[in-house]
């Protein structure tokens, strides 16, 4: 398998609320909800760097599509890391997330590897890490 993961999809309980959180609160670019004309098809896509997409899809629709029963979100099974260019961006993004309704789980602090990071949970409990790692800076778009 070639490493071509191109979409990360989060199951959400309220698509409109999650759209508002990621678009209005965090400033991620999107065309909004698409696919509403299809049963179980309403989804939101956000354009991320490197061609990666973040998708939001109702958890009930994911359960329907896969045939699996719905399960509670477990924030310790996966995190999404947002690596920034400058240390001060961590504090700025964490504050924006908090203002948008995120639950700050771990306030930004120095890390054991010489970086600076903090964690928050989105409205559905998904865990995001905002991190500045001077040894692993993101590629500029």
| Whole-number Å distance between alpha carbons of 109 and 130 | 11
Same domain, 86 and 57: no
Say if residues 106 and 122 touch (Cβ distance below 8 Å): no
Same domain, 36 and 60: yes
Domain assignment of residue 18, given as a range: 7-66
pTM of the model: 0.90
When divided into structural domains, the chain yields a total of 2
Same domain, 61 and 89: no
Same domain, 50 and 20: yes
22-63 tens-digit pLDDT: 999 999 999 999 999 999 999 999 999 888 999 999 999 999
Same domain, 87 and 39: no
Three state DSSP letters for 16-52: HHHHHHHHHHCCCCEEEEECCCCCCCCEEEEECHHHC
Q: Residue 127 sits in a domain of what CATH number? A: 3.10.180.10
Same domain, 88 and 49: no
90-103 tens-digit pLDDT: 999 999 999 999 99
Domain boundary among 44, 66, 88: 66
Residue 3's pLDDT band, with cuts at 50, 70 and 90, is confident
């Amino acid at each position: 398998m070639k490493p071509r993961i191109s979409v990360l999809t989060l199951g959400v309980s309220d698509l409109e609320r999650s759209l508002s959180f990621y678009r209005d609160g965090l400033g991620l670019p999107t065309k909004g909800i698409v696919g509403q004309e299809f049963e179980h098809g309403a989804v939101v896509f956000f354009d991320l760097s490197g061609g990666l997409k973040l998708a939001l899809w109702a958890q009930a629709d994911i359960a329907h599509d896969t045939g699996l029963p719905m399960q509670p979100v477990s924030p310790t099974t996966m995190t999404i890391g947002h690596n920034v260019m400058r240390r001060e961006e961590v504090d700025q993004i964490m504050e924006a997330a908090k203002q948008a309704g995120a639950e700050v789980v771990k306030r930004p602090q120095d890390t054991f590897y010489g970086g600076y990071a903090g964690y928050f949970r989105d409205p559905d409990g998904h865990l995001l890490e905002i991190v500045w790692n001077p040894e692993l800076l993101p590629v500029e778009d």
